[in-house]
Structure 1
Amino acid sequence: MNGAEAVRALKRLGFEFQRQTGSHVIMRRESRTVVVPQHKPIKPGTLKGLIEQAGLTPDEFVAQL
């Protein structure tokens, strides 16, 4: 999975683009802020942290891919 795919999945879950700083996209939904690296590919540990930042379960995230 790359950063663009992660951003698309988060948009489907209601997150909105806030800004991009360098190679990182900042997305927000209510009080949750998620930083998505625009690397290819995103490492498994980084992806797990991204899902936790979003307050999601891995199954919820994967369902949006």
Structure 2
Amino acid sequence: MKYREIAKKLKKLGCQEIPRRSGGSHRKWYNPKSNRIVAIPDWGNKDLKLGTLRQIIRQLDLDWEEFKHK
């Protein structure tokens, strides 16, 4: 799954992207419900590995099944 697809799903689940202050290939996301922040790689057209994606969802304290179906 590409970064843009992940970003759309996270927004639907109530997460917010934290504005960038500098360059780099990662973007920070915040889950206000769990008060957690996680960095997500933005590799353009390259897919994130499933294990990486599952770890991001776990760190944001979101449900994997709910994320898949959004």
TM-score, normalised to structure 1, is 0.85
Mapped partners of 1:4, 1:25: distance in 2: 11
Q: Which has the higher strand share?
A: 1
* Aligned partners of 1:17 and 1:28 also within 8 Å: yes
2:60 is equivalent to residue 54 of structure 1: yes
Q: Could you say which structure has the higher helix fraction?
A: 1
Identity %, equivalent residues: 34
- The unaligned stretches of length 5 or more in structure 1 are none
Larger Rg, first or second structure (1 or 2): 2
Structure 1 residues 1-65: aligned runs within 5 Å: 1-20=1-20, 21-30=23-32, 31-39=35-43, 40-64=46-70
Q: TM-score, normalised by structure 2?
A: 0.79
Contact 1:7–1:36 (CA under 8 A) maintained in structure 2: no
Number of aligned pairs?
Answer: 64
CA RMSD of aligned residues (A): 1.3
> What runs of 5+ residues in structure 2 fail to find an aligned partner?
none
